[in-house]
Chain A
Amino acid sequence: MARAMPLGLGRSGIAFLVIVAAAGVLVPFLNLATPVDSPWHVPTTTVVLFGKYLCFALLALSIDLVWGYCGILSLGHGAFFALGGYAMGMHLMREIGSRGVYGNPVLPDFMVFLNWKELPWYWYGFDQFWFAAIMALLVPGALAFVFGAFAFRSRVTGVYLSIITQAMTFALMLAFFRNDMGLGGNNGLTDFKDVLGFDLQQNATRCGLFALSAAALAAGFLVCRAIVSSKLGKVLVAVRDAESRTRFIGYRVEHFKLFVFTVSAMMAGLAGALYVPQVGIINPGEFAPANSIEAVIWVAVGGRGTLVGAALGARGRQRRQELVHRGASRALAVRARRAVHFRHAVPAEGAARPGRYPPRQAPGAAGGDAGPARNGR
């Protein structure tokens, strides 16, 4: 029982921290300090790719904190991630300054394009990095706090909570798709040039972001560890396993849930803020419900309630997905080629086309025409 581990980290926790710290130092070093043809060289694409994984790992960690330890299955954590990303994206947009396509020193390109005359009030302050950095934590945190206050006070639990978190991220996605929102609509925010004066295309900047992501992941892990190994962490597990029992021994369950949900959302926001400068774009697609669900799958695969497993799950799933995507695009290419062949081989296809936009015709005939056309696609 009384195994003397510093901070109660456990063997896997220490191993995890060592690996993250080593990666945070070694990967940038091997990218910058070795020549491109050296066997030790880490290509920049790998740095960027793994920088992304580190952000996903932090997101997974935040989900594991609420789901693994408090039983709150949030299917909307992607929203907090995206909000953090937008906060950082807004700063990066402002930092472009007059180097945009339209050369407007204040308004981002998309606003000029949409004939906006002045900066909306909610863009104020985002020209300062520190302001954006605080907002990247504060906005997701505030949303989680308000959302959680209503949901947990009304004792919404289980699948119902999962469904409304999902609805939340979906609603935000629809809102952010609107041009009137003033956040780039469909295209989102992109064309970033630099951050704090460092060129985002430079290897050194990318390595710096990688190291920062590693540091954020390690810090997030330590925060989670501190929470789950405190008495509060024990209360969280108690809530997960027997909520009403916890209430009857006098704990205000909703307050505990609210605390951990808010902390988790802020971690997700931080992950998003680090993700955006590395991938160079943030758009409403990040709010897509599928993203949140996928993040939950990372945690499930890696091991719910383990922290370390969740972070590793994020990396593993992503890697596999990249492979699947590569495979899928190959398969798609083959299919496309086959389809082209088919169209050429069946000259009647063009004639059958009207089946798609049925002219006034006997329904039977239209249906007959649509058949082969659909097969051809």
Chain B
Amino acid sequence: MTELVNSLLYLDGVTVSFDGFRALNNLSMVVARGEMRAIIGPNGAGKTTMMDVITGKTRPDKGDVLFDGSHDLTKLDEAAIAELGIGRKFQRPTVFDSHTVLDNILLALKGPRGVFASLFARLTGDERDRIDTVLATIRLTDRRHELAGRLSHGQKQWLEIGMLLAQDPALLLVDEPAAGMTDAETAETAALLRRIAETHSVVVVEHDMTFVRDLGVRVTVLHEGSVLAEGSLDQVSADDRVIEVYLGR
């Protein structure tokens, strides 16, 4: 139980099946406060399903999902979970293409989310400052008035990370942030995530081994919906079973 108290995210015996296929099979994992965790695993290992369960998109058939020791995430919807402080970045960069970079950040900015609050919302000076800080962090200050749809792939990924920062969640779930990036962009993204991890808990799902090595954090290997191994990248790379299912190919 001490694990539960100290944990930010606590998954225990989580099972999800789709038409008899077990996407998650008795998955248990704990992410501590302030920790950055990388999750790797072959296609179909259940990485994205795990994110879906944590963010309320998918309800698990069995198991507990607790946030901050007390909030049962299996009972809440996406908006409520986002409000609790869990932000999510998708595998494919999804930003609001027909909004400007500025508006994308503005929409994500922490604040009231109600219908009428939005109808009468006015941008305050404080909010403007927070937007500027985020824009500087993701290096898109110069392109703030451009439509998000016109950004390059890598910049969209950053914008999405920027939206997460604006949301200021306690836990960030980041799905394949380096997908489709050049090597230089990948290295920069790793640096950006490391900087974010100083003040937030982060869970990163990634295929790219160099990227995971750049992050230099504890790694969880998923396979067929459950945890196969956990430890530093060097430890798990040496694990025979991991080599067999994933690295050895």
Contacts and interface: CB of A to CB of B under 8 A. Distances in A.
A252 B83 CA distance: 10
Contacts of A242: 94-97
A46 to B, nearest CB: 39
Contact of A250 (B95, B96, B145, B167): B167
Interface stretch (A9-17, A183-191, A230-238, A310-318): A230-238
B115 A232 contact: yes
B163 A249 contact: yes
Given A241-B98, A248-B55, A231 B79 contact: no
Interface string B219-235: 00000000000000000
Contact of B57 (A232, A244, A252): A244
A251 interface: yes
B118 interface: yes
Interface string B60-103: 00000000000000000111001100011010001111110001
B151 interface: no
Contacts of B78: 244, 247-248
Contacts of B90: 245
Given A237-B99, A238-B96, A232 B119 contact: yes
A249 B114 CA distance: 12
B81 to A, nearest CB: 8
A255 interface: yes
A235 B118 contact: yes
Nearest to B108: A249
- What is the interface of chain A mostly: helix, strand, loop, or mixed? helix
Contacts of A250: 79, 82-83, 113, 167
A310 to B, nearest CB: 17
A252 B79 contact: yes
Given A235-B107, A248-B78, A249-B108, A259 B115 contact: yes
Contacts of A249: 82, 87, 107-108, 163, 167
Contacts of B113: 250-252
A11 B162 CA distance: 33
Contacts of B114: 252, 255
Contacts of B77: 252
B1 interface: no
A256 interface: yes
A33 interface: no
A231 B106 contact: yes
Nearest to A259: B115
Contact of A231 (B57, B82, B97, B119): B119
Contacts of A246: 107
A334 interface: no
A237 B149 CA distance: 13
A281 interface: no
Contacts of B82: 247-250
Given A231-B106, A235-B107, A1 B145 contact: yes
Contacts of A256: 115, 118
Contacts of B118: 230-232, 235, 251, 256
B120 interface: yes
B209 to A, nearest CB: 28
A230 B119 contact: yes
Given A230-B119, A248-B55, A249-B167, A237 B83 contact: no
A244 to B, nearest CB: 7
Nearest to A226: B119
A245 B79 contact: no
A165 to B, nearest CB: 21
**What are the nearest 4 A-B pairs in CB distance?**
A250-B82, A232-B118, A231-B121, A247-B78
Given A235-B118, A245-B94, A250-B83, 10 more contacts: A231-B106, A231-B107, A231-B119, A232-B115, A244-B78, A250-B167, A251-B79, A251-B107, A251-B113, A255-B115
12 contacts: A230-B118, A231-B118, A234-B107, A235-B107, A241-B99, A242-B94, A244-B57, A245-B90, A247-B78, A247-B82, A248-B78, A249-B167
